[in-house]
C-alpha cells in the first residue's frame, strides 16, 4: 500500500518554543487518519507544514509522494485544507467561492460549476448557495468551508479540528462528507481533541503530545494499550461492599466503587460469567452489569498523563 | 500563462465583490471623482489664474493624476485586509500563483480607477473642460491617467506588505502621498512655488505625470513629457512590484 503522507524527523520551532520535536508518521492511502492531541501539542503546526503554509526547520515530509518544501506546487495540486476558522470570501456566495477554487485548480468553468453544486447539495447548502457567505450562520459557514476544501478534488484532505464549535447537525454533515470522500479514495488527515470523533471516523490514530508522537495504531490498539476490559456492576449502596469482596479474586487490579457502580478491571470477556456467579453467590442484587473497554478519552488522558479536566462538550 | 489566468480569476473575484458593495462603486467611482472635480474647479478656479489657459483645462489633468495617486490607498487597505484574513491560508494552499492575490487586486482596482477617470472627464466637460489636441493625444492623456493609477497601486501594494495593518497603511500613505501630490504641478504651475519647493516639485514623478497628461490634453505635447511620465511610471511599477513580490513571498510560508 503506498503512503499518502510520510513524515520523518519533522521539527519546527517558533522562537524558543518547540512545536514539533521530531515527528514520525506514515499514513496509508484511502483511510481516515486521526491525529489526536491536547491544545498546543503541535497538531496545527503539523497540518500547516503538510499543507505547505509553513516550512519545517528540519526533517522531511511527503504528501502524495511530493516533498512539501521542494515540490510545494505539486503538493498544493493534491491537497485540500479546512482550518479551524472558515476561510471563505465573505462577500462572495458559496457557489462563487467553490467555483473560484475549482477554477484555480484548473477545472473548466462548466466542470467547476457542476462540481460546486454537487458539493453544495452534499453539505445541504443548495438553498443558500447564491447568498453572500457573510449572511450565513456559523454552522453554514463551516459546511461551506468544508465544501471549499474539497472543491479541488484533493487526493489528501486535511481537516484541522473541523468540528470545533459546530452544531450537531453540521457535525453529522461533516462526518458524512468525510465518509463520502474516503469512499472515493481520498485520504483524510483529521486532527481533533474529541476522541469520539476520531473513534468514529478514523481507522488509524496517532497521539501527539509536546510535538512528539507518543502512541499510534488502530483505535482498538490504543484502547488495549491503556488497559484491558473492566466490568461495571450497578448495585444498591448497601451491597456495594459485598460486591467489591466478591469481585476481588478475579480482578486484575484494585476494585473501586465509582458513584453507584463497582468497577473491576478484568482479563477478558470470559470473566463476565465468573463475575455473575460470584456476585450471585455473595447474594448481591445486580441492577445492571456491563463489560467495557476504556474509552479513547481515558486512553488519551493516560497517554498524555494529564489530570482529567471537567469539560462541557457541546 | 497560468499566472495570468490566476490574476484574471483573482481580479474577477475583486470586481464581483466590489459590484456587490454598491456603496464602494458609488463612492469610489462616482461621488468622489465628481466631488474632487467640482470642489477644485469652483474653490480654486476663482483664485488661480494660469496664464494662457482656462483653469479647468489646467486643473482636470491634475485632478485625474491626484485621484489616481490616492486611489492606490484603497488597494493597500483592501490588501492588508485580505492578508490578515483566514482566507489566505486557503489561497496559499491552492495550486495558484501566490502573487496573483496582489496582482489581481491591482488589476481590479485599475479597472475601477479607469471608470473614475471616465466620470471625471465627463463631469469636467460639463463645466467647460475640453481636449484641445488630436484624438490620439486625448486618448493618450486618458491612458496615462489610468497607467498612473496602476503604478501607484503597486506602490501601495508595497506599503501594504511592509506595514501590514490598514491603520498603518492609511496613516503612512497619507503622510507620504499628500506632500507628494500637492507639491507638484497637479493644481498649480510649479513656477509659482518658492524656489526650494520648485526643486522638489520639479523632480516629482507626480509632476512628470501631471505635466504629460496636461500636455496631451491641451494638445501642446512636444513628445518629451509623455516619455518622461511613462519612464517614471514603469520604474515605479517595476520597483515596487518586484519589492512587494519578494516581501510577499517571504510572508507566505
Q: Are strands A32-36 and A187-192 parallel, antiparallel or unpaired?
A: parallel
Question: For residue A132, what are the β-bridge partners?
Answer: A93
Question: For residue A256, what are the β-bridge partners?
Answer: A263
In a domain, A111, yes or no: yes
Q: Are residues A207 and A237 in the same domain?
A: no
pLDDT at position A314, please? Answer: 39
Q: Identify the residue whose cell numbers are 453544495.
A: A120
Here the CATH number for the domain that contains residue A274 is: 3.30.70.100
Q: Domain limits of chain B?
A: 2-251
Q: How far is Cα B180 from Cα B157, in angstroms, rounded to an integer?
A: 18
Cell numbers at residue B111, please?
A: 479597472
State the sign of the Cα–Cα–Cα–Cα dihedral B177, B183, B184, B189: positive
DSSP secondary structure letters along B39-108: HHHHHHHTT---TTS-HHHHHHHHHHHHHHHHHHHHHHHHHHHHHTSTHHHHHHTSSS-TTHHHHHHHHH
CB B97 within 8 A of CB A106: no
Report, as an integer, the average pLDDT of A235-243.
Answer: 84
Quick one: pLDDT band at residue A1, thresholds 50, 70, 90? low
A54, A84, A89: best to mutate for the B interface, most B CBs within 10 A:
A89
A109 interface with B at CB cutoff 8 Å? no
Across the A:B interface, residue pairs with CB atoms under 8 Å apart total: 67
Please give the DSSP secondary-structure letter assigned to residue A92. Answer: S
pLDDT digits (tens, 9 = 90+) for A50-70: 999 999 999 999 999 999 999
Cell numbers at residue A165, please?
A: 464549535
Q: Are residues A95 and A244 in the same domain?
A: no
Q: Are residues A183 and A41 in the same domain?
A: yes
pLDDT at position A308, please? Answer: 47
- ipTM of the prediction: 0.85
A57, A63, A81, A87: best to mutate for the B interface, most B CBs within 10 A:
A87
More confident residue, A286 or A150: A150
- Mean pLDDT score across all residues of chain A: 86
Q: Of A123, A76, A81, A128, which is closest to residue A104 (Cα–Cα)?
A: A76
Report, as an integer, the average pLDDT of B223-239.
Answer: 92
Q: Are residues A125 and A188 in the same domain?
A: yes
Q: Are residues A218 and A253 in the same domain?
A: no
Here the CATH number for the domain that contains residue A181 is: 3.40.50.300
Taking any CB pair shorter than 8 Å as contact, residues of chain B touching chain A are 2, 6, 9, 13, 16-17, 20-21, 85-90, 92-96, 253
In a domain, A247, yes or no: yes
Under 8 Å CB-to-CB from B125, ≥6 apart: which residues?
Answer: none
DSSP secondary structure letters along A228-283: --EEEEE--GGGHHHHHHHHGGG-SS--EEETTEEEEE-SSTTHHHHHHHHHHHTT
Q: Are residues A266 and A128 in the same domain?
A: no
In chain B, what percentage of residues exceed pLDDT 90? Answer: 52
Report, as an integer, the average pLDDT of B40-67.
Answer: 89
Quick one: pLDDT band at residue A313, thresholds 50, 70, 90? very low
Backbone angles phi, psi at B223, to 5 degrees: 110, -25
pLDDT digits (tens, 9 = 90+) for B174-184: 888 888 888 89
Which range among A11-25, A209-223, B207-221 shows the weakest confidence by mean pLDDT? A209-223
In a domain, A305, yes or no: no
pLDDT at position A311, please? Answer: 44
Query: Closest to B90 (Cβ–Cβ): which among A48, A52, A87?
Result: A87
pLDDT at position A226, please? Answer: 64
In a domain, A73, yes or no: yes
SS3 at position A62: strand
Q: Identify the residue whose cell numbers are 492606490.
A: B72
Residues of A whose CB is below 8 A from B86: 83, 85-87
Please give the DSSP secondary-structure letter assigned to residue B25. Answer: I
Query: Closest to B90 (Cβ–Cβ): which among A91, A132, A148?
Result: A148
In a domain, A299, yes or no: no
pLDDT digits (tens, 9 = 90+) for B88-144: 888 989 998 888 999 999 999 999 999 999 999 999 999 999 999 999 999 999 999
Q: Are residues A37 and A161 in the same domain?
A: yes
Q: Are residues A147 and A268 in the same domain?
A: no
CB A176 within 8 A of CB A30: no
Q: Are residues A184 and A260 in the same domain?
A: no
Cell numbers at residue A301, please?
A: 488522558
- Mean pLDDT score across all residues of chain B: 90
CA A30 to chain centre: 16
**Contact across the interface for A91 and B89, Cβ inside 8 Å:** no
* Count of domains for chain A: 2
**Contact across the interface for B17 and A89, Cβ inside 8 Å:** yes
Q: How far is Cα A20 from Cα A59, in angstroms, rounded to an integer?
A: 10
Q: Are residues A192 and A243 in the same domain?
A: no
**Contact across the interface for A52 and B13, Cβ inside 8 Å:** no
Which range among A21-25, A125-129, A236-240, A306-310 shows the weakest confidence by mean pLDDT? A306-310
Query: Closest to A104 (Cβ–Cβ): which among B89, B96, B253?
Result: B96
Residues of B whose CB is below 8 A from A79: 93
DSSP secondary structure letters along B2-16: HHHHHHHHHHHHHHH
Q: Are residues A200 and A239 in the same domain?
A: no
pLDDT at position A193, please? Answer: 80
Report, as an integer, the average pLDDT of A208-219.
Answer: 89
Please give the DSSP secondary-structure letter assigned to residue B125. Answer: H
Under 8 Å CB-to-CB from A244, ≥6 apart: which residues?
Answer: A255, A257, A262
CA A239 to chain centre: 41
CA A116 to chain centre: 26
pLDDT digits (tens, 9 = 90+) for B8-26: 999 999 999 888 888 878 8
| Chain B residue whose CA is closest to A153 | B94
In a domain, A200, yes or no: yes
| Chain A residue whose CA is closest to B21 | A91
| Residue ranges making up the domain that contains A270 | 229-292
Q: Are residues A196 and A64 in the same domain?
A: yes
pLDDT at position B252, please? Answer: 60
More confident residue, A169 or B186: B186
Q: Of B87, B95, B89, B91, which is closest to residue B2 (Cα–Cα)?
A: B95
pLDDT tops 70 at residue B235: yes
In a domain, A298, yes or no: no
Amino acid at each position: 500500500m503506498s503512503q499518502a503522507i510520510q513524515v520523518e524527523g519533522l521539527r519546527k520551532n517558533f522562537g524558543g518554543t518547540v512545536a514539533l520535536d521530531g515527528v514520525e508518521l506514515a499514513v496509508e492511502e484511502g483511510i481516515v487518519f486521526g491525529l489526536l492531541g491536547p491544545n498546543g501539542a503541535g497538531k496545527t503546526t503539523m497540518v500547516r507544514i503538510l499543507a505547505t503554509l509553513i516550512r519545517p526547520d528540519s526533517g522531511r515530509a511527503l504528501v502524495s509522494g511530493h516533498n512539501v518544501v521542494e515540490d510545494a506546487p505539486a503538493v498544493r495540486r493534491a491537497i485540500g485544507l479546512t482550518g479551524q476558522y472558515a476561510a471563505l470570501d465573505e462577500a462572495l456566495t458559496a457557489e462563487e467561492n467553490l467555483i473560484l477554487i475549482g477554477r484555480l485548480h484548473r477545472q473548466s468553468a462548466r466542470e467547476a460549476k457542476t462540481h460546486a453544486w454537487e458539493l453544495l447539495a452534499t453539505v445541504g447548502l443548495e438553498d443558500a448557495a447564491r447568498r453572500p457567505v457573510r449572511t450565513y450562520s456559523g454552522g453554514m459557514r463551516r459546511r461551506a468551508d468544508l465544501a471549499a476544501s474539497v472543491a479541488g478534488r484533493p487526493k489528501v484532505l486535511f481537516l484541522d479540528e473541523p468540528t470545533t464549535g459546530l452544531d450537531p447537525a453540521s457535525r453529522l454533515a461533516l462526518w458524512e462528507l468525510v465518509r463520502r470522500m474516503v469512499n472515493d479514495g481520498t485520504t483524510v488527515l483529521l486532527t481533533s481533541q474529541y476522541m469520539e470523533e476520531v473513534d468514529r471516523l478514523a481507522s488509524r490514530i496517532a497521539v501527539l503530545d509536546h510535538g512528539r508522537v507518543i502512541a499510534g495504531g488502530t483505535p482498538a490498539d490504543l484502547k488495549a494499550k491503556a488497559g484491558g476490559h473492566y466490568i461495571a456492576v450497578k448495585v444498591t449502596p448497601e451491597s456495594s461492599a459485598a460486591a467489591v469482596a466478591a469481585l476481588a479474586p478475579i480482578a486484575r487490579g484494585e476494585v473501586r466503587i465509582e458513584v453507584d457502580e463497582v468497577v473491576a478491571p478484568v482479563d477478558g470477556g470470559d470473566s463476565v460469567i465468573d463475575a455473575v456467579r460470584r456476585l450471585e453467590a455473595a447474594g448481591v442484587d445486580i441492577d445492571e452489569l456491563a463489560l467495557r473497554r476504556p474509552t479513547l478519552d481515558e486512553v488519551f488522558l493516560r497517554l498524555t498523563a494529564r489530570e482529567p479536566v471537567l469539560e462541557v462538550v457541546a | 500563462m497560468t499566472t495570468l489566468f490566476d490574476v484574471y480569476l483573482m481580479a474577477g473575484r475583486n470586481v464581483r465583490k466590489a459590484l456587490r458593495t454598491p456603496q464602494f462603486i458609488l463612492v469610489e467611482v462616482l461621488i468622489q471623482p465628481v466631488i474632487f472635480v467640482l470642489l477644485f474647479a469652483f474653490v480654486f478656479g476663482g483664485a488661480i489664474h494660469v496664464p494662457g489657459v482656462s483653469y479647468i483645462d489646467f486643473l482636470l489633468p491634475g485632478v485625474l493624476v491626484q485621484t489616481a495617486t490616492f486611489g492606490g490607498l484603497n488597494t493597500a487597505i483592501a490588501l492588508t485586509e485580505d492578508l490578515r484574513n483566514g482566507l489566505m491560508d486557503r489561497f496559499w494552499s491552492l495550486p495558484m500563483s501566490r502573487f496573483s492575490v496582489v496582482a489581481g487586486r491591482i488589476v481590479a482596482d485599475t479597472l475601477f480607477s479607469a471608470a473614475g477617470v471616465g466620470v471625471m472627464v465627463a463631469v469636467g466637460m460639463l463645466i467647460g473642460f475640453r481636449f484641445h489636441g488630436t484624438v490620439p493625444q486625448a486618448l493618450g492623456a486618458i491612458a496615462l491617467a489610468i497607467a498612473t493609477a496602476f503604478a501607484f497601486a503597486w506602490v501601495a501594494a508595497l506599503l501594504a506588505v511592509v506595514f501590514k495593518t490598514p491603520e498603518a497603511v492609511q496613516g503612512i500613505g497619507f503622510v507620504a502621498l499628500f506632500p507628494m501630490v500637492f507639491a507638484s504641478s497637479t493644481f498649480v504651475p510649479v513656477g509659482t512655488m518658492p524656489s526650494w519647493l520648485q526643486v522638489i516639485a520639479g523632480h516629482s514623478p507626480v509632476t512628470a505625470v501631471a505635466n504629460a497628461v496636461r500636455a496631451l490634453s491641451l494638445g501642446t505635447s512636444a513628445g518629451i513629457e509623455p516619455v518622461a511620465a511613462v519612464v517614471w511610471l514603469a520604474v515605479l511599477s517595476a520597483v515596487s512590484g518586484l519589492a512587494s513580490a519578494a516581501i510577499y513571498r517571504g510572508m507566505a510560508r
